[in-house]
Every structure is written in structure tokens, then in C-alpha cells.
């Protein structure tokens, strides 16, 4: 089971995600300096409160809400739909093929978010997705501005060759 806590995070149009040389995952509203590889995530035009991963050209049309950088001003008003973002997470090796994943999500939308959960995307060292695991968030209903926690140990042979796990929050 997974436990999720949230902290203050605000909405932004574009978010940049990258992993540094020590394996720490960073989120910012500015791209990393020094030519590091990064993912760019943003909110699509159209439906308020909706977000999708803007980096890959082959992203699914039902992509989950994108994370946003901490410290930005929230743009969610009372009429804006629920929108859950990833505030923070940490992946701790437990064995050759197991990782402990903990983190926090937050509802930055203007309405309550129900059935809040996190999908853990497990990939091998080449980036090929090996598996997906659904992780519960506690509490699983988040009023606007509230946070929740997730906590799970994931086992997969893809971790043995340097595989990674990428959490993706969603609701309703």
C-alpha cells in the first residue's frame, strides 16, 4: 500500500524534470543548465485544469496531470476541475530488484479530487517500460489545496540492470 502527503505547490504552464549525476530527480519551471537531458511538461490549451506530458510526440491523449514547480502561484479557482500534481518523491534501493518509492501529491485544482492514486512506471536502463504499478494515496480524496502521501516497495527484474521508476499522479 502507498501513503501520500502533499505540500504547497503551485501551477505553472511548463515544468522541467531531470535527474542529476547523483540520481536525484529535480522539477523546476526553468530548464537545467549545463546541457543536461530533461523532460518538458506543460498544460495543454483547451480544458482548464487538464494537463498532459508535452515532451514526447507519441504521448497518450489521456495523459495524467503534469507536475508543477514549487513556489509558483496557484491558478485554480473554484470553477476549475480537480488537478493532482507530484510535489516530491524519492526512490530508495532495497535490493537488486526492489525499490522503495515514497512521495507527496497535491490537488492544485478548484474542486475535490477523488480516487487519487499514483501510477509507477518501471523502465529498464534503456528507458523501455517494463511494468506499471498502481499505488494508493492516503487520503485518496483531496480537497483543493490539500496533499496526500504514497509509499510502496516495488519489485521488478528491470531494476537489476539500472532500471528506473517514474511516478505519475492521477485522480477520478
* Each residue's pLDDT tens digit, 109-157: 999 999 999 999 999 999 999 999 999 999 999 999 999 999 999 999 9
- CB count in 10 Å sphere of residue 143: 12
pLDDT digits (tens, 9 = 90+) for 52-82: 444 443 333 344 444 444 444 455 445 689 9
Q: Estimate to the nearest angstrom the gap between the alpha carbon of 58 and the chain centroid.
A: 18
> What domains sit in the chain, N to C, each tagged with a CATH number?
14-170 (2.60.40)
Alpha helices by DSSP H, listed for the chain, are: none
Amino acid at each position: 500500500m502507498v501513503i501520500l502527503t502533499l505540500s504547497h505547490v503551485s501551477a505553472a504552464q511548463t515544468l522541467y524534470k531531470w535527474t542529476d549525476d547523483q540520481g536525484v530527480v529535480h522539477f523546476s519551471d526553468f530548464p537545467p543548465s549545463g546541457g543536461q537531458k530533461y523532460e518538458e511538461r506543460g498544460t495543454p490549451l483547451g480544458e482548464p485544469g487538464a494537463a498532459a506530458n508535452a515532451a514526447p510526440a507519441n504521448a497518450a491523449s489521456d495523459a495524467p496531470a503534469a507536475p508543477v514547480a514549487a513556489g509558483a502561484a496557484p491558478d485554480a479557482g473554484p470553477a476549475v476541475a480537480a488537478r493532482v500534481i507530484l510535489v516530491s518523491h524519492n526512490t530508495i534501493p532495497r535490493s537488486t530488484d526492489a525499490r522503495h518509492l515514497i512521495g507527496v501529491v497535491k490537488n492544485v485544482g478548484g474542486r475535490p479530487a477523488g480516487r487519487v492514486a499514483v501510477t509507477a512506471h518501471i523502465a529498464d536502463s534503456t528507458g523501455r517500460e517494463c511494468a506499471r504499478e498502481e499505488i494508493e494515496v492516503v487520503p485518496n480524496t483531496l480537497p483543493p489545496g490539500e496533499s496526500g502521501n504514497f509509499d510502496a516497495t516495488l519489485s521488478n527484474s528491470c531494476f537489476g540492470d539500472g532500471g528506473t521508476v517514474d511516478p505519475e499522479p492521477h485522480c477520478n
